């Protein structure tokens, strides 16, 4: 086992989610990075153990012994470190597991910015109801409530429906280097978000979509329109593509 993967396993254990152990093949396919380069940036996670424990404790303090969270925080950390993107856009924040990973990598890069859009679902009472969404936000907390304070500097977090906020945001940006869809999971909504960011995608941009089991063929159609192969993270429904770079 490589030293980087050992560090990543320790970080996943600290976070309390064994699914978070990164998929090295997925990272390599989407970034074009060598195994040695991937190992190097994953090795940095040895210094993130305390941060991941704090995120886990924030979940516990919010009444979550286990949290329905983004399963690939360390994968996207590696992507950001390897590609050094300038503008990252994500839709869907909830407690902020993916946001914290993006922000941590950008901080290490000393450049780039994360733009996040979230339409928070509020938990009705102190205890999560059996029929409530597992990503509902506990009373007294806001979107991104588990993101450590020291990572929040420069974070562009916008609250409201992406139907209204995403077009405005995209018009403000020169490009979208990485886009992550993790919001309302329907074929129509995913298609809307992908087509909205399309004008700002550049050769080499990465597009990710989670929970695609609910979004039908929307991501497949988008990938085909770009001529980009789809890369699946292990056997999950978290998909990615990289906008083709001309020869």
Report all structural domains of the chain as residue ranges with CATH numbers, in order of start.
Answer: 69-242 (3.40.50.150)
Q: Return the SS3 of 100.
A: helix
103 token code pair? 């922000």
Tens digit of each residue's pLDDT (9 = 90 or more) over 151-169 = 999 999 999 999 999 999 9
Strands 87-91 vs 113-118: parallel, antiparallel or unpaired: parallel
Instruction: Give the global pTM.
Output: 0.96
* DSSP-derived secondary structure letter, 117: E
pLDDT for the residue 1: 56
Tens digit of each residue's pLDDT (9 = 90 or more) over 171-196 = 999 999 999 999 999 999 999 999 99
Query: What CA–CA distance (Å, rounded) separates 4 from 201?
Result: 30
Strands 239-242 vs 201-209: parallel, antiparallel or unpaired: antiparallel
State yes or no: pLDDT of 109 exceeds 80.
yes
pLDDT for the residue 130: 81
Quick check: 100 and 51 in contact, CB under 8 A? yes
Query: What CA–CA distance (Å, rounded) separates 59 from 115?
Result: 23
Query: What CA–CA distance (Å, rounded) separates 137 from 28?
Result: 34
55 pLDDT band, cuts 50/70/90, is very high
Rounded to an integer, the average pLDDT of 209-225 is: 98
């Amino acid at each position: 086992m490589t030293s980087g993967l050992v560090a990543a396993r320790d970080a996943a254990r600290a976070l309390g989610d064994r699914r978070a152990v990164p998929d090295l093949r997925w990272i390599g396919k989407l970034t074009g990075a060598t195994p040695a380069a991937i190992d190097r940036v994953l090795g940095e996670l040895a210094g993130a153990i305390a941060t991941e424990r704090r995120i886990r404790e924030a979940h516990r303090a919010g009444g979550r012994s286990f949290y329905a969270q983004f399963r690939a925080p360390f994968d996207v950390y590696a992507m950001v470190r390897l590609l050094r993107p300038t503008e990252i856009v994500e839709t869907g924040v909830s407690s902020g597991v993916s946001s914290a990973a993006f922000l941590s990598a950008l901080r290490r890069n000393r450049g780039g910015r994360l733009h996040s859009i979230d339409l928070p679902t509020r938990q009705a009472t102190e205890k999560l109801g059996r029929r409530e969404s597992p990503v509902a936000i506990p009373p007294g907390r806001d979107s991104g409530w588990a993101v450590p304070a020291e990572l929040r500097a420069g974070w562009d977090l916008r609250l409201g429906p992406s139907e209204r906020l995403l077009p405005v945001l995209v018009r403000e940006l020169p490009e979208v280097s990485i886009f992550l869809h993790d919001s309302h999971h329907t074929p129509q909504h995913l298609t809307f978000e992908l087509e909205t960011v399309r004008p700002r995608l550049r050769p080499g941009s990465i597009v990710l979509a989670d929970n695609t089991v609910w979004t039908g063929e929307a991501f497949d159609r988008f990938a085909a329109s770009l001529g980009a192969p789809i890369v699946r993270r292990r056997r999950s429904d978290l998909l990615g593509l990289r906008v083709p770079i001309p020869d």
